[in-house]
Structure formats: structure tokens, C-alpha cells
Chain A
Amino acid sequence: GAGVSQTPSNKVTEKGKYVELRCDPISGHTALYWYRQSLGQGPEFLIYFQGTGAADDSGLPNDRFFAVRPEGSVSTLKIQRTERGDSAVYLCASSDPGQAQFFGPGTRLTVL
């Protein structure tokens, strides 16, 4: 596709529920990144994929967060037992190795 796409654009859920956020990177980009942006803050790194494998998951806040990229393209960020503090905009970016990252429009997650 022309750019990085993310679905859904908005997700409202209740505390304790499970959610999945999807990212479609730019075709051919091998690197994929997830970030989380809270209101008034800069994006914070969550996890990085090079191909199918998670090369760096040091930014995941706890074991309720998990992400996969089984075929080296689309990635899904999964959050179990959501908490109100998980409310944020979740951003996905992709790049060629060593090049600038291009971001999707984000998924705004609201946990009630």
C-alpha cells in the first residue's frame, strides 16, 4: 500500500477486556515498530520486529502486552485484561533497515 495503515482507528473497551490492534506496514519494509503515545507526551517505544521475530521487546510495560508478526508483514499488538492506564494512541511505524520510519495514523484506545 501507499503508507502504513492501522485498524481500528478507534477502540473503546471495558476494563478487563482483551483487545487486538492491527498494523499493515509499507510493502517491503522489513522493520516494524510499535509505540504508545499518551496525551501531551512523545511516543514511547514498545517493540521492534525485524522480519518475523521480535528483535527488541524491552518497551512492553508488562506481560499483558504481546505482539506478533507471523509472516513478516502485518503485525498485531495484543493487550490482555486491559486497564484504564492502557488508554493511549498506539502508533505503528515501518522502515527499511537504517532508514527513516514512516508512521501510521494510530489507533486511539480508550479503556472505560
Chain B
Amino acid sequence: AQSVAQPEDQVNVAEGNPLTVKCTYSVSGNPYLFWYVQYPNRGLQFLLKYITGDNLVKGSYGFEAEFNKSQTSFHLKKPSALVSDSALYFCAVRDMNTGKLIFGQGTTLQVKP
């Protein structure tokens, strides 16, 4: 069965510092991986995806993610965090047959001024 794990419930970072939000996955075959962000009382916003190609994927709002096949990880990164990046972040893997997304539990990112 396919699954995604986000080992940290919360990540705290000072504004201007680099941030990393961790994600590991378990799939059979090649993974299609996604990151979404959710602000309070809002729907999920698409940040970036990995389908194939370069292991470093660039997305919206200055975020990027690094696909590491040997470690089965897809960590979300940003070189310099903003207070406005504070939100709930979800990693997801796509089911190859139906396209449905299987989400992790989410990680709350708190960026302090």
C-alpha cells in the first residue's frame, strides 16, 4: 500500500533562516509526489510536484523540494523563511491507477519574526 509520513507535527523557524519540512514515502513503482499548503479556513494550495526528471523541483512562493530515491524522501525547503509562510503543509503521493492523493498527517510551520 502507498503511504506518506511527515515525522514532525510542528517545525519552528526564525524569519530569514532556511526551513525544511520532512516527508518520506512508500510506494511500489515510481512515485508522483506533491506538496500542498493550507492556510487557516482555506483550501489546499498546490506548491509543487515531482513526476520525473531533476531531483530538485522548484515551486510557488520560493519553495523547492528534493526528491531522494535512496532515502525515499521528498523534503520541502526554502532558503529564507517568511512569517507569512506560517501554515499547515501536506505531502502527498498519487495513486497510479486512479490519481487519488494519499496525504501525510501534515506539519505546522511556525515562522517567528
Chain A residues in the interface with B (C-beta under 8 A)? 4, 31, 33, 35, 40-45, 48, 55-56, 59, 91, 93, 95, 97-98, 100-106
Chain B residues in the interface with A (C-beta under 8 A)? 34, 36, 41-46, 49, 90, 92, 97-106
For B41, the chain A residues whose CB sits under 8 A away are 105
Q: Are B99 and A44 in contact, CB atoms less than 8 angstroms apart?
A: no
For A31, the chain B residues whose CB sits under 8 A away are 99
Given known pairs A41-B105, A42-B90, the reply for A104 and B43 (CB within 8 Å) is yes
Q: Are B103 and A43 in contact, CB atoms less than 8 angstroms apart?
A: yes
Q: Are B99 and A98 in contact, CB atoms less than 8 angstroms apart?
A: yes
Bound together, the chains give a CA A106 to CA B113 distance in angstroms of 30
Bound together, the chains give a CA A95 to CA B92 distance in angstroms of 15
What residue in chain B is nearest A98 (Cβ atoms)? B99
Bound together, the chains give a CA A21 to CA B74 distance in angstroms of 34
For A33, the chain B residues whose CB sits under 8 A away are 99-101
Residue A43 contacts which of B42, B44, B45, B49 (CB distance < 8 angstroms)? B44
For B98, the chain A residues whose CB sits under 8 A away are 48, 55-56
Q: Are A45 and B90 in contact, CB atoms less than 8 angstroms apart?
A: no
For A103, the chain B residues whose CB sits under 8 A away are 36, 43-46
For B43, the chain A residues whose CB sits under 8 A away are 4, 91, 103-106
7 smallest CB-CB distances across A and B, nearest first, come from A42-B103, A103-B43, A56-B98, A103-B44, A105-B43, A45-B100, A100-B46
